Amino acid sequence: MITKVEIENFQSHQHSILHLTDGVNVIIGPSDAGKSAIFRAINWVITNRPLGDAYRSEWGGDTRVALHTQEGDVIERVRSGSTNKYVVNGQTLAAVGSDVPEEVSRVLRMEPANIQGQMDAPFLLASSPGEAARLLNKAASIDDIDRATTNLRRQHSRLQDDINRNSKELEDRQLELTTYEDIPDIETKVTHAEEMDQALTQKITRLSQLGQRVQRIQQVQERLRVTQYVDHALTKSREAEELVQPLTDHSNRLQILKRLTQRIEQTQARVQKAQEEEGHLEQQFHLLAPETCPLCGGKMLGANPAGTG
C-alpha cells in the first residue's frame, strides 16, 4: 500500500507531498489544480508511462516522483537532461528502457489495471472480450497457469529436440567407434614400442658412457706412448752429465785461473806503479840531498855532485 507520494517538477507540481491513509483517499480542488497530474505521476512510476519528457515542468530541475509503501520501501523515478533512472531503496537500477524494471514491479505489486482515471472508460465494460478475459485470468492467476503450460510445452519440445539430436549423435559416435575396434592391438603395439624405445634410450646412454671410457683409455695410451722413452732419456741424461762434469771442472779451474791472472796483472800494475813512484822519489832525493853531511862532514850516499843529479 502507498502511504506517501512526493512529486517534484512534474507538470504543475513544483514540489508536492501527499500522505495517504488506509481506505479511500479523496483529492479535491479546483480545475487545473493538478489533481490528474497526481495520478499521472503515480502512473509514471508504476507503468513508466508516459515516455519522453513532455510532462517535465518548464521551470527546470530534475523531475522526480517517489512512492513510499507501508512496508517501508521507497521507489523513485527520476528524469533530467542527462538522467533517466529508477531508484529502489537508495539503489540505482540498470539502464531504463520502455519497460518497468522487475524490481519495481515486485516491490509495488501494482499494474496499469490498478490505475483508473476519471476520463477512463468503465473498467472491463469497455474492454474487448479477449482483453477482459486476459485481465480476469491475470487476476485469478490463470494466466500464470497458461504461461506455465506454454513454457512446459516449449521446454518439452526443446527437450525432445535435444533427445533426437543426442540420439542421432550417439548413433554417429557408435558408428565412428567401429573404426577403432583395433585399439587394443594398437595399445599393445604402442606399449611394446615404448618398451623398445626405453631400452634403446638405455643402450644409447650405455654407449655414450663406453665412448667416454674409450676416450680416456686412448688418452692414457697416448701418455704412455710419450713416456716410454723416459728411461732411455734418463740414461742419456746421466751420460751427458758424466761428460759435462769434467768440462764443468775445467771451466771452474779456468774461471779460477782467470781470476788469478786478473789479480796478478793488477799486482804487476801496482808494482810497476810503485817502482815508478820510487824512481821519482829517488830523483827528488838526489836533487835535494847535499853532497856532504852537515853534521859529520861525510859524503852523502847517492848525493848528486854539485847538485846536478
User: Residue 132 has what pLDDT?
Assistant: 63
Q: For residue 77, what is the DSSP state?
A: E
With a cut of 50, list the residues of the chain below it in pLDDT: 306-309
User: Residue 19 has what pLDDT?
Assistant: 94
pTM recorded for the entire structure: 0.43
Stretch (H or E) spanning 13:
strand 13-19
Sequence-separated (6 or more) residues with CB below 8 Å from residue 143: 134, 137
Determine the distance from the C-alpha atom of residue 263 to the mean position of all C-alpha atoms in its chain, rounded to a whole number: 91
User: Residue 306 has what pLDDT?
Assistant: 47
Q: How far apart are CA 55 and CA 79, in angstroms?
A: 10
Q: How far apart are CA 1 and CA 67, in angstroms?
A: 10
Helices (H), 4-141: 35-47, 102-108, 129-139
**Residues facing 181 on adjacent strands:** none
Q: How far apart are CA 158 and CA 152, in angstroms?
A: 10
Are the C-beta atoms of 50 and 131 separated by less than 8 Å? no
Determine the distance from the C-alpha atom of residue 266 to the mean position of all C-alpha atoms in its chain, rounded to a whole number: 92
Q: How far apart are CA 76 and CA 92, in angstroms?
A: 9
Q: For residue 300, what is the DSSP state?
A: P
Sequence-separated (6 or more) residues with CB below 8 Å from residue 34: 11, 12, 13, 16
User: Residue 245 has what pLDDT?
Assistant: 82
Grid cell for residue 223: 701418455
User: Residue 156 has what pLDDT?
Assistant: 87
